[in-house]
Amino acid sequence: MTSGDRFSTLPRNLIEDIVSLLPLHDAARTSILSKYWRYIWVMRPNLLFDKLFCNKLQTSFKETIDEILLQHVGHISTFSLHLSGVDLFSYADIDRWMRYVTKNGVKNLILDLSNNTTYKLPSHIFNSTILTYLEIHNCLFKPPNSFLGFPNLIDLRMFDITFVPTQEFCVIKLPRLVRLALIYCKGTQYLDIVVSSMLEYLAIRESHCNLNLNQFINCKKLTQLELVVDSPIPADERSTYQKLIFSQPTLKELSFCSFVLELLMSAVTVTKGLPFTLNSLLSGCDRANAIMKSLDRPTCLDRPLDKLTHIIMYNFGGSQVELFFVRLLLAHSPSLVKLIISQWEPLVESEKINITTELMCFPHASPEAHLLYVTDLNKSVY
């Protein structure tokens, strides 16, 4: 240790915290500073192999990860692996890494295998009882018959997951779950989710209305709800959607598609107001002319959305339905700060100017409201 090495005089726990915040390759480089620093980085509890890390290594990323895990000392609280840009020939290495991190106490696990063939989650993950955060992409979810759920999981995010029933249904018990996202998953009709009343965030995006939403009707603490489907909602499912949306007294942020918009607007005209106070509203509108009548009724939204500050419209195409809806929101949102529009497809400049001009001519309840056009937000979740 040299006299000019001020960092080495810091408390050991503070140095470990600093090293844990560095990118993994930078943390490893601290080992050459001195004997004192040689083994500090190998004890960091968070191992984050991000997309940039794996893409840089390409052919040697497996050997590099093996070497890092071989040198690691102590428990692993967070393990994040992003292989979306890497071509894999075998998943045996990932199985081995999953076995290692689950045996070493991993609580936060992120596994992104987008753009690869579907990866079957190993039994080591299902046997973990201490996971608190789980995010998985492009995986096959087929738990063993002995699977009892994740007793301590607080945050679960699933993207492009294929659910396979072990017998008749794939049952996941999540007694402590607070946040849940199911994004374009397959086989959700076989999914039986048992959640507690503590659930606060629920995001569901599906190509078809397969998931049984009755599983969430009794969740009365939802503050954020996202419902996006790419096809019309069947008649026998509509009442379930309405119950889920309008039985949430604490709901503050609502994101939805045009097919849910019809249900929302028709329900608003019946209830004469929302049963919750919104401060954020996100919409995925398209050319659904069937809702024009509901939007144009004078009783639609007969009270202001006092806490609504931001509006994001997904897949905006500039139809009359969408413009009517925007006019309605602008007229009833006195606290609005920003209206963000994500286009359905690129608009020519003249169309954009015409739409912008029409929007700016609508009555604004808020003098601070600003309009912003952006590129596709369709993949945005949180």
Mind giving me the DSSP string for 368-380?
A: T-EEEEES--TT-
120 occurs within a structural domain: no
Q: Which residue has the higher pLDDT, 306 or 265?
A: 306
Q: Which residue has the higher pLDDT, 378 or 209?
A: 209
Q: pLDDT digits over 284-341, tens only?
A: 664 455 455 555 555 555 567 777 788 777 767 777 777 887 888 888 888 888 888 7
Task: Check if the beta carbon of residue 158 is closer than 8 Å to that of residue 182.
Answer: yes
Residues 203-227 have a mean pLDDT of 91
pLDDT at 155 over 80: yes
Q: Which residue has the higher pLDDT, 42 or 361?
A: 361
Query: Which residues form the domain of 40?
Result: 1-44
The predicted structure's pLDDT at residue 34: 47
* Res. 221 pLDDT band, cuts 50 70 90: very high
Residues 235-256 have a mean pLDDT of 85
CB-count exposure of residue 212 (10 Å: 0-12, 13-18, 19+): middle
Statement: the pTM of the whole predicted model exceeds 0.85: no
Q: Determine the 3-state secondary structure of 341 from DSSP.
A: strand
Q: What is the CATH number of the domain that holds 1?
A: 1.20.1280
Q: What gap in Å lies between CA 189 and CA 194, rounded to an integer?
A: 14
Q: pLDDT digits over 4-25, tens only?
A: 455 555 565 555 555 555 566 5
The predicted structure's pLDDT at residue 196: 86
Q: How many domains does the chain have?
A: 1
Q: Which residue has the higher pLDDT, 373 or 115?
A: 115
77 occurs within a structural domain: no
171 occurs within a structural domain: no
9 occurs within a structural domain: yes
What is the residue-averaged pLDDT of the chain?
79
Lowest average pLDDT, out of 181-190, 193-202, 295-304, goes to 295-304
Strands (E), the chain: 46-49, 78-82, 108-112, 119-120, 133-137, 139-141, 155-159, 162-163, 170-174, 179-183, 191-195, 201-206, 224-229, 253-257, 280-284, 310-316, 338-343, 370-374
Instruction: Find the helix or strand (DSSP H, E) in which 190 lies.
Output: none
Lowest average pLDDT, out of 81-85, 321-325, 361-365, goes to 321-325
Q: Which residue has the higher pLDDT, 27 or 112?
A: 112
* Res. 146 pLDDT band, cuts 50 70 90: confident
235 occurs within a structural domain: no
The predicted structure's pLDDT at residue 159: 96
19 occurs within a structural domain: yes
Residues 243-260 have a mean pLDDT of 82
Lowest average pLDDT, out of 167-176, 232-241, 311-320, 357-366, goes to 311-320
Residues 198-218 have a mean pLDDT of 93
25 occurs within a structural domain: yes
281 occurs within a structural domain: no
